[in-house]
Amino acid sequence: MRSIFGLEQPDSGYLCWNGEPTIIQNPRAARDKGIAMVFQEFSLVDEMTVIENLYLYLGPTFNWEHDVLPVQKMLGTKIKPLALVDELSAGEKQQVEIIRSILISPALLILDEPTSILTTEEAKHLMQTLRSLTQNGITILLITHKLEEAIGYSDQITVLRRGKVVSNMLACDTTKEDLAELIIGSNLTRSVNREKKKRWETNDNYLLSCKRLSTKQRSMTNTQLKEVTFSLRAGEILGVGGMAGQGQAELNSVLSSNNIIKFSQIKLFRNVQIFVMPEERDKLGCTPNFSLSENLLITKQEEHSPWINFNSLDQECRNILREFDVRGGKTDSQAKTLSGGNLQKFLVGRALSGNPNVLICNNPTWGVDLKARESIHQMLSDYVKHGASILLISQDVDELLYLADRISVMCQGYLSPVLDRSEITEVLLGSWMSDPQFKVLTS
């Protein structure tokens, strides 16, 4: 995709555009030909507002009300023009990326995992919108690991594995099972081993609790937390769902080690150590220009010596690369050279290797392939068996229903009642995501 968009030049072979061999030297040349791309890793300028980012990409020839609002209505989004990009959630940034790409009226629109951090309803609406764009003559090239999207909305499917095309087919001629086997090279079965016993019902071993936690409105894009109450017991995974920008980022910020001591409504039990996996891996999860070993070092809290044992650090890094199947990098590789999926696997490995009592995960399987997704799920499930707990913040409803022991939803800064996984359905979650009063309590 980077070659098609002019970010890289192929070492061999050639590209054809409208049936003619062509060389696309840079992204500007790609846009001039009518090619737009929405990257998995955001390319917005955080210090600028939404409308300034659009000016930077499109020039001053567009009008917000005449051009942008109709696209927002089509996508079902409500992004404010003067909102600072740095204060938007990852889901909202994704929506801005899609809006600006559609605004150039491309002939070819490339999207890399566009629904990876959207809720089920947001993803469904986006895919229907993309399908409608094809009726206007726009070709969509969709990169996705979500089999339902590939089969349900595509005309043709091409499967790549380790840089090679392994199959081309019509979407109507394949199944989820066959497609999964082609993608990973073997049969895939969902086999996360979770104990059926509801450990938290009889477990009084609390690790973290929040009681009527509230925050102030700090900016126009910030969502106030309003009397958020929940508790985490040892051995459980508590899931928090919701649409983008409903307070998840604010809750994550409050629970980070830099802010948690400022809130008397939060109680930590015993010597609880919290580790936070941030939402944006390339901005908050790592330092892109540092090596993988150096990125491992910056999260270490237990070392008190002024000396760094680089041999030990490199060995620990190699263990993570091997155990979590991180490909395309070595201990001295810069973090920015890894693909999004491989960087995510590295960050999960770094988090678990620190052995925190409480792990706060933000969309932990964002942009990883099917096999890695299953592996991460199993590792998180195994991790809580030893007495730790996980706060799983995810916009992936399937992930919540599959992995969490108890589930709640954030809407406009409020947290819903926390229910056992067996009491939760997709319909109930969907209703809570749009109702901050959470009037529907049962399915």
pLDDT by residue (tens digit) across 371-397? 778 888 888 998 998 889 999 999 888
Q: Is the pLDDT of residue 192 over 60?
A: no
Q: First-to-last CA distance in the chain?
A: 43
pLDDT-based confidence at 184, cuts 50/70/90? low
Tens digits of per-residue pLDDT, 198-213? 544 556 788 888 888 8
Tell the CATH topology of 199-300+313-433.
Answer: Rossmann fold (3.40.50)
Fold agreement (15-184, 199-300+313-433): yes
CA atoms of 131 and 155, how far apart (whole Å): 10
Q: Where are the domains of the chain?
A: 15-184, 199-300+313-433
> Which amino acid would we find at residue 236?
E
**Rounded mean pLDDT of 336-362?**
87
Q: Is the pLDDT of residue 440 over 70?
A: no
pLDDT-based confidence at 302, cuts 50/70/90? low
Q: Which of 206, 210, 279 is nearest to 236 (CA)?
A: 206
Q: 251 and 377 in contact (C-beta within 8 Å)?
A: no
Q: What pLDDT sits at residue 408?
A: 93
Average pLDDT, the chain: 83
Choose from 74-78, 196-200, 354-358, 387-391 the range with maximum mean pLDDT.
387-391
Task: Of 154-158, 360-364, 367-371, give the lowest mean pLDDT range.
Answer: 367-371
Q: What pLDDT sits at residue 106?
A: 92
> Which amino acid would we find at residue 135?
Q
Q: Is the pLDDT of residue 255 over 90?
A: no
Q: 195 and 385 in contact (C-beta within 8 Å)?
A: yes
**Rounded mean pLDDT of 1-8?**
87
Chain mean position to CA 290: 22
> Which amino acid would we find at residue 171?
A
Q: Which residues contact 136 (CB under 8 A, 6 or more apart)?
A: none
Cα dihedral: 390, 394, 398, 401 (round 10): 40
> Which amino acid would we find at residue 443?
S
Q: What pLDDT sits at residue 261?
A: 52
pTM of the predicted model, to two decimals? 0.68
Tell the CATH topology of 15-184.
Answer: Rossmann fold (3.40.50)
Q: Check residue 107 and report its DSSP letter.
A: S
Q: What percent of the chain has pLDDT over 70?
A: 90
